[in-house]
Chains A and B, each alone.
Chain A
Amino acid sequence: MSVEETAPSGQAAGAAEHPTLRRVLSPLHIWALGVGIVLVGEFMGWNFAVEKGGMYGALVAGWVVGLLYTCIVMINSEITSAIPAAGGQYAQAKHTVGPLMAFNVGLYLTLAYTMLEAANANVLSYLLSTLSGLMGSSVTLSPYPFAVLAILALAFLNYRGVFATLTLNFVITGFAFITLLLLFIGLRGWNPTAQLDLAGLAGSPSNGLPYGWIGVIAAFQFGMWFYLGIEGTAQAAEECRSAPRSVPLGSMAGIMTLIIAASLTWFICAGLLPWHYLGSAITPLFDAARLSGSDTLVVLLLLGTLCATLASANGCINDASRAWFSMGRDRYLPEWFGAVHPRYHTPFRAIVFLVPVAISFAILPVLLDQPTLLSTVITFSILSGLLMYSFMGPNFFRFRKLWPIGSIKRAYTLPLHPAPAIALLILAALVFFATFLGYGAALLSMLLFYLLASIWFVVRRYKFVRRGAQFTADLPRPRGY
């Protein structure tokens, strides 16, 4: 497969002096990036919400957290269309708050996506072992070679060009989403009493809401699995042919796809699997396909799960490397990381640097024979994401204060301001509380980690930051900036 891309003619002259990231992406790629990172959460992970809050608790969590992510996507769309820079929320923080906040946001982004990539590689090797078992192999596959191969192969693709990377993501994400639709059709989901037994499995308070409303709140932390990562669409803004068009279109279409996918996933699983089993299943949609009795659906859902996992890892490499690259470019990290490949026009050093980090976190849980380490890795990713969401609400207020309506041309204007930003703040606080209930110690250790990282930045790195060159957006400088 040829993965080299043709640069638009306007970029050719500039690229001769300093190579830049190529502007080749369309709204479809943005959709593929956003949905690709997230869709794996529909195939596994979301169902732990059922264990916390029951069948209806998981549904309420999915929709309420869906509202939180809708606010995030809308806020992101307005700011990113005005500040279309690699690094996404990092670049926003650099312009609206300052270097220390930007450093933290950049670190949240890098670690959230790298940890998620590691978890995906780990899950991929587990799925391949399951596949070999289903194919009749009596020998268990070793997880190491496949986790390593998945990360390296996807890093190679990312290294060679963003267009091919996200085109592949579009194909495999689209396929994974279609397998979900096919499962719904195969189970005749439009008739809840045909193959599904929604009333029997989710209809009474004992399985619908077994722990009452506190259970619903506790379920919020896993409701995030339906959407975690959609905000990563902002990372690709600098590589869009037209960021003001592509980012809002791709992101909005992405969140709509995910809300539909979340509702369908819940509907199928809640109608087929008892809540006690569903709450602890590793691959609930695949298990639902196995209960359907159709071999075709079983194969399709296994392939769909594999594709969703690969798409997520692929998107994570893309996003983590852009955040790391942007910090290097601005000297928040050694400038060496801010290099762009002269031929492929990708942040190649940032991509390569994060490969061993991801491989370590992917194979450590297996190497140390500590399966709980995988959940710690995932928790670190989720909590880093949550910290970023708590920044996005205040960030939007600041953005509107610095550049009020009418002061700049906006490709997308967030409606009903300040309601979405306030809703985001309240919902993020609620999810923080829910996460604290389940992972209080992890949350506090992570806050300590970011505090130490901030101290390191202030003491050792801040002197290298070119403060006069932080404002890179094509916007008028606010007074006193």
Chain B
Amino acid sequence: MSAVAIVETLAWLISAAIAIWIVQDMIRVGRRHDEASLVNAPDPLEEPFDPPAGTERGSA
């Protein structure tokens, strides 16, 4: 087996290991956690933000 073939095989193996780990972790998270708790979406039923008159708002 040439050095090039060894390097290529190694690259495939590491890729496969990473792919397996990622997929396993995704499945694990999906099973152990409630789906609604993972998504951090804004709640449409919340009152929209309305600052008092004359108040200056910003992100700083």
Contacts and interface: CB of A to CB of B under 8 A. Distances in A.
- Do the two chains belong together in a single complex? yes
Interface of A: 17-20, 81-84, 132, 137, 139-142, 145-146, 148-149, 152-153, 155-156, 159, 243-244, 328-331, 335-336, 338-343, 348-349, 352, 355, 407-411, 466, 468-469, 471-477
A340 B37 CA distance: 9
Nearest to B57: A476
Contacts, number: 133
B15 A149 contact: yes
A330 B44 CA distance: 11
Given A409-B57, A474-B57, A342 B33 contact: yes
A409 B56 contact: yes
Interface in B17-41: 18-19, 21-23, 25-26, 29, 33, 35, 37-41
Interface of B: 2-5, 7-9, 11-12, 14-15, 18-19, 21-23, 25-26, 29, 33, 35, 37-44, 46, 48-51, 55-60
Nearest to B14: A149
B22 A352 contact: yes
A472 B44 CA distance: 10
Contacts of A145: 8-9, 11-12, 15
A329 B41 contact: yes
A349 B60 contact: no
B4 A132 contact: yes
A19 B59 contact: no
A342 B38 contact: yes
Contact of B40 (A20, A156, A355, A476): A20
A149 B10 CA distance: 10
A71 to B, nearest CB: 22
A477 to B, nearest CB: 6
Contacts of A149: 11-12, 14-15
26 contacts: A18-B39, A82-B58, A145-B15, A146-B11, A149-B15, A152-B19, A244-B59, A329-B41, A330-B42, A338-B39, A338-B40, A340-B38, A340-B40, A342-B33, A343-B29, A348-B25, A352-B26, A409-B59, A409-B60, A410-B58, A410-B60, A469-B46, A474-B58, A475-B57, A476-B50, A477-B48
Given A132-B4, A141-B7, A338 B41 contact: yes
A335 B49 contact: no
Nearest to A14: B40
Contacts of A475: 57-59
Contacts of A469: 41-44, 46
A149 B11 CA distance: 6
Contacts of A408: 56-58
Contacts of B2: 139
A314 to B, nearest CB: 14
Interface core residue of A329, A338, A339, A469 (most chain B CB under 10 Å): A339
Contacts of B41: 329-331, 335, 338, 466, 469
Contacts of B21: 156
Nearest to B33: A342
B47 to A, nearest CB: 10
Given A152-B15, A409-B58, A19 B40 contact: yes
Contacts of A243: 59
Contacts of B40: 18-20, 329, 338, 340
A156 B22 contact: yes
